[in-house]
Structure formats: C-alpha cells, structure tokens
Amino acid sequence: MNLLSGARTVRRLTGKPVARQLLEALALRLGRQRIGLAEYFDYGLWDPALTAARRREFIGWRTSAELDRRFNADHARVLANDKLINYLILHALGFPLPRPLATFSPARRRIADEVPLGDRADVLRFLAGTAYPIFVKPISTGYGRGAAGLAGFDGARVRLLDGRSVDFEEFFAPFGFPPFQGMLFQECLSAHPALCTLTGSAAVSCVRMICLVARRETVVHTAFLKLVTGRNMLDNFSRGDHGNLLAAIDTQRGIVTHAIRRMGPGGALERHPDTDLPLAGFSLPDWEASVALVGAAARHFPGLGIQNWDVALTPAGPVLVELNTESELAVPQAIRQRGLLDATMRNALETLAEERREAATASQAGWQA
C-alpha cells in the first residue's frame, strides 16, 4: 500500500492527523519491535482502540526473522523445508498426507512407492499416462511458488485447474530450477463440504497453525484460514494480489473471528465475495482433530521450536499439507488485529530459550568429560 494513501485512509476512518500517525510509526520503528512504516499501516497499529501495552505486543518482519533464527536450528530446517524428507518422516509415522504419485529428481529420490522421474522424457510419460486431477509443487520452496493443480495433458499443453493451459516446455522449465530441488506430484485434495459451501469452490483452503514446541509439548499460538476466491487453484495470499482472503481463527473454539482481503486500512471484509456468506462465526470442521494432529506431528521434528503447519480440511478429515520454517510471523497480526508477542508467546519463548540453554550446557559438559 502507498504510505500516503494509507495515511489518508486512516485519517478518513479515524480522524487521526497524518502528522500524528507519522510520529507513532517512527516511535515503533525505533522501538524494540522494529516495526517498519508500512507495517504500521498493515497491522492496524493506527487504530485508536489500541492501548500502548497492546501496541508493544506487535513485531516487525525483522523481529520475526530474528525469532526464526533463534529458535529454529539451522541443521534442523531441512526436516521441514525439504518436502521429501518431511513427507518421508510423516509417512513412516502414519500421518495423513496427500498421496505422492511421482517425484521428479535427477537423483530419483522418493518418499514411498511413487513413480521416480529423472528427466524430461520421464515427466512426459507420466503426464500422458496418469489420471487427473493431480497437484504438483517444488520439493523445496514456500509461498506457493511453482505449485499448480493439473486438469489434463494433450501431449503438447498442460491444462490447469483454473482453466488456463501452458505449453509443456513452459510447464517443465521450473523442474530445472536448482532451488526447487525437483518436483513432487501428489493427489489433488478436495475441500471439506462446509468450506466448499463458504467459498463456492472445491479448491483446498488450508489452515495455517503457528506452533511453539518446547519440552515435548506443542502450543498452537496462532491460526488463520487461507480462503480461495474465484477460480484460484491455490490459497496463497501474497498480500491480497491473488484475490484470496485470510481469516483469523479463535484457536480455542475453531471459529473465524474476522477476515481481510488485503493488508492495511480498509482491508477488512465481512462476507465472502463469491458466495456472500458471512465469514465471522464460521465454525471450522474437525477443528479439535486438526489441533491434535498437528500436536502429535510437531514433536517429531527436534530443533524446530517455531513450526508453521498447513492443514487441509477435507471430507476424510484433516490432512497435513506441509511444514515450514522462515515464514513471516508478523503477517498474522494484520488478520488477528493482535500482536504476536503476547504473554502466551513470551512465556513459550522463555521456555524454549531455557531448553536451548540447558541443551548447550549439557553438550559442553559432555565434550569436557
């Protein structure tokens, strides 16, 4: 959002002068939270209803990155960010996952008994002989980059679930992009009927759970629902550029409290744009089962104290879609209208820090023995 446009919108909504907004934003930028000027508008820190204590609970992207570096060990990140390793662990433990159909990797890596694909000819044969729809995504990435739902293949062009089609060569180009480390083909999940009714689409709208894992216990601190709109086949938000929505969830009750269509002032909305159904008050299906599922899975990834899980709510129950680190923890503040660094988060982070100190002390003592 343009900062001047945001300031004018805030002035129109609240009557707060632009000069006062600037002073508040500068104070937060120079404070411990290190909140940027754009974040002042994105996270609703201009709201006159916020007390000084509440404002101190908000963090900026810099603090978000610092928390991730501090509480997620570098050696453990591969357990989440490499989808084949992550799925291999979850599959071995019997957790519900999207069924892998084929894996493209020059090393022919795989999760279970899916088809290994090692080159362009292998991918062509697989696309020509498989049943649709299917889903494809990079082995290592985030934010929905490179992911797509496939509806069919005629030997030359790949049809996508959103109605578009692309030439095979264009489709295949990301397969050689080194940071992706290959591609994973998996079954295409369908949304739970309650979500289909809300969005008017069978495309999956995942729940993101931000979890704190310490002393073998998992706390689901924050959760939000990524809601698809229109013919979108992915639920990624990208600051509202794709038209999708984000909805805050009461983690105790599994109920949507409010939603946004974009970051910043004027971004809130009350009804889904396609179905005109109210968003606040929507009760997520299988909520308790989803929380229990994430809690059971999270403990199997040591070294990751802050875990970001995407869970698909399907007719067959909740399904673990993926685990991520390095996600921007600050963004959910715009949806929840609450800062992330509340008492629950501070207590959990202190427990994590204490656990890290104990491990370091024990390790040092062991080497000296």
172-209 pLDDT, tens digit per residue, is: 998 988 889 999 999 999 999 999 999 999 999 999 99
- Let me know whether 209 and 247 are in one domain: yes
Q: At what angle do helices 3-14 and 18-30 cross, to 10 degrees?
A: 120
- Let me know whether 198 and 330 are in one domain: yes
Residue in the structure block whose two tokens are 């694909």: 117
Show which of 150, 168, 187 is a domain's final residue: 187
pLDDT score for 217: 87
- Let me know whether 306 and 286 are in one domain: yes
Backbone torsion region of residue 360, taken as left when φ is above 0, otherwise alpha when ψ lies between -120 and 50, otherwise beta: alpha
- Let me know whether 165 and 222 are in one domain: no
* Domain-located, residue 106: yes
- Let me know whether 10 and 153 are in one domain: no
Residue 221 CA to residue 351 CA, distance in Å, equals: 14
Number of domains forming the structure of the chain: 3
What φ, ψ does residue 264 adopt, rounded to 5°?
95, 180
Residue 119 CA to residue 63 CA, distance in Å, equals: 42
- Let me know whether 164 and 305 are in one domain: no
Low-confidence ranges of the chain (pLDDT < 50): none
Residue 325 CA to residue 86 CA, distance in Å, equals: 12
- Let me know whether 145 and 289 are in one domain: no
- Let me know whether 273 and 314 are in one domain: yes
- Let me know whether 182 and 315 are in one domain: no
- Let me know whether 135 and 201 are in one domain: no
pLDDT score for 239: 66
* Domain-located, residue 358: no
* Domain-located, residue 368: no
- Let me know whether 149 and 278 are in one domain: no
Residue 121 CA to residue 103 CA, distance in Å, equals: 14
pLDDT score for 266: 86
Dmax (CA) of the chain = 67
- Let me know whether 296 and 182 are in one domain: no
Query: Token pair for residue 131?
Result: 């049943």
* Domain-located, residue 271: yes
* Domain-located, residue 363: no
Residue 146 CA to residue 244 CA, distance in Å, equals: 17
Residue 356 CA to residue 369 CA, distance in Å, equals: 20
The 3-state DSSP class for residue 251 equals: coil
Range of the domain at 259: 68-92+191-349
What is the DSSP pairing of strand 268-269 with strand 183-187?
unpaired
Residue 283 CA to residue 17 CA, distance in Å, equals: 39
* Domain-located, residue 210: yes
* Domain-located, residue 61: no
Length of the chain: 369
* Domain-located, residue 241: yes
28-74 pLDDT, tens digit per residue, is: 888 887 898 889 999 999 999 888 889 889 999 888 999 999 999 99
What is the reported pTM? 0.92
